[in-house]
Structure 1
Amino acid sequence: MAGVWRPTFGLTMRQLQPHRFLIRFYNELDIDRVLAGGPWTFGQCLLVMQRLEPGVDPELVVLQQAEFWVQIHSLPVGFRSEVVVSVIGSFLGTMICIDEKNWDGSMRLFYRVRVAIDVSRPLKKHMKLKKDNGTWAFIDFCYERLPKFCFMCGVIGHGDQYCPKITNVLDRKAEKPFGAWLGVGGRRSMPSSGQRWVAPESNTEREGWKSPAMEVGVDVTPAENGEKGKQPLVLSTALVSHSDAHHSQIPAVVLSEQKRKRIDEGAVE
């Protein structure tokens, strides 16, 4: 039902068409915060938003791109540079920015990029990079705060039972090429420095940090001979396995490895 909604925090909303709304903000900071904080969902369905340029008819704007933080997993040594991560982000969609914490000296299980992806196309799961020695390295993608999407065709916006490709191309009983593992929680759901036993991520923040054990002198040495109560904490991460039969279907990009060069102290330019 069409109408106008006027809340108290500086915006108005008007319905233009079914499933299409025009929202007017009265503060530049508010709209920047809303766009940067996405993706947003309602009932597990993605809200696709786009800033309207002056003079553009809002009813004619094509809404099919949404920004996501994407995690790049299993990136091999030699490719862990800002240039390579930027190229990978451009492969995923329209590159927006790279997480500044990627290069803050922390131990990385993955690297993050923010990209605008075409929600009318299947999500990209994997990518392979060719090394200098001719072998291939396989990397995986995980999308933060991913809304409802189809495990059969990989398109955001509908579930398996409503996939239009099942009746035309895909068999409903066939193995699903996509899964829940493609979506992960955002950085805000990860352990933070507010938890006393969790060290801050960056080197700068860790300089003045002390764990509770360091403060009170608790013995945290590894247990020996099966002694209980002092086992060291072990963290693990799951990687998506790749079948040789599907290697040819994974998109490939050829990038040169960036190896570190050692310069002798007595070397002359």
Structure 2
Amino acid sequence: MRAPWKHALIIKPFERKVGFSFLDCIDLGMDYFLVNFELIEDMDNTLKGGPWFIGQQFLAIRQWEPEFKASYADFSSVTVWIRLSELPIEFYEPAALLKIGKAIGPILHIDTNTVNGVRGRFARICV
């Protein structure tokens, strides 16, 4: 019964309503939508990638959970990418980024370009 949804994500646009026609997904009501993925890798990339927008509309994304009810749901936490502008390059080491990120919240991901030192204008971490 739950197996078809194990690779699904629940998304919610913030601030304005987004028409159902913009999203190829299941409308769960109260501005929550369900997107199902065939591959777990695609789901993980979507969950850890981003931030995600439709136009200028920010989308909060979370993993599907059994017995989800839109009327009771809330996003008590949101995954966001933090951009650390003009961070000195010596702080691009994973250990330093983890220490900085933990001061903000649990670290989910460090941007590959940041770890590889490809980008120097800013560092990105997902918390």
TM-score of the pair, normalised by structure 1: 0.32
Q: Look at both structures and tell me which one has the larger radius of gyration over its CA atoms.
A: 1
* Counterpart for residue 74 of structure 1: 86
- In structure 2, list runs of 5 or more residues that go unmatched: 1-19
Structure 1 residue 62 displacement after superposition: 2.5
* Bigger RCO of structures 1 and 2 (CA < 8 A, at least 6 apart): 2
Structure 1 residue 91 displacement after superposition: 2.4
Pairing partner for 1:51 from 53, 59, 63: 63
* Counterpart for residue 33 of structure 1: 45
Aligned residues: 106
SS at match of 1:29: helix
* Counterpart for residue 155 of structure 1: none
Q: Deviations over 1:120-161 (max 9, x none)?
A: xxxxxxxxxxxxxxxxxxxxxxxxxxxxxxxxxxxxxxxxxx
- In structure 1, list runs of 5 or more residues that go unmatched: 116-269
Q: When you count helix as a share of all residues, which structure comes out higher? A: 2
1:108 maps to 2:108: no
CA distance 1:24–1:100, shift in 2 (3 Å): closer
* Counterpart for residue 18 of structure 1: 30
Structure 1 residue 105 displacement after superposition: 5.3
Q: Would you identify which runs of 4 or more consecutive aligned residues in structure 1 move more than 6 Å?
A: none
SS at match of 2:50: coil
- Distance across 2 between alignment mates of 1:74 and 1:22: 37
Q: Which amino acid aligns with 1:33?
A: N
- What is the RMSD of the two structures over their aligned residues, measured on CA atoms? 3.3
- Distance across 2 between alignment mates of 1:100 and 1:79: 14
Q: Deviations over 1:1-37 (max 9, x none)?
A: xxx98x9xxxx73322221223333332332333233
SS at match of 1:32: helix
* Counterpart for residue 74 of structure 2: 62
Q: Deviations over 1:60-113 (max 9, x none)?
A: 342244333322233357755322211221223331122233343557333221
Question: Contact between 2:109 and 2:126, CA under 8 Å: does it hold in 1?
Answer: yes
1:95 maps to 2:107: yes
Q: Which amino acid aligns with 2:46?
A: V
SS at match of 1:21: strand
- Distance across 1 between alignment mates of 2:45 and 2:108: 15
- Distance across 2 between alignment mates of 1:18 and 1:40: 19
Q: When you count strand as a share of all residues, which structure comes out higher? A: 2
- Distance across 1 between alignment mates of 2:35 and 2:114: 34
SS at match of 1:88: helix
TM-score of the pair, normalised by structure 2: 0.58
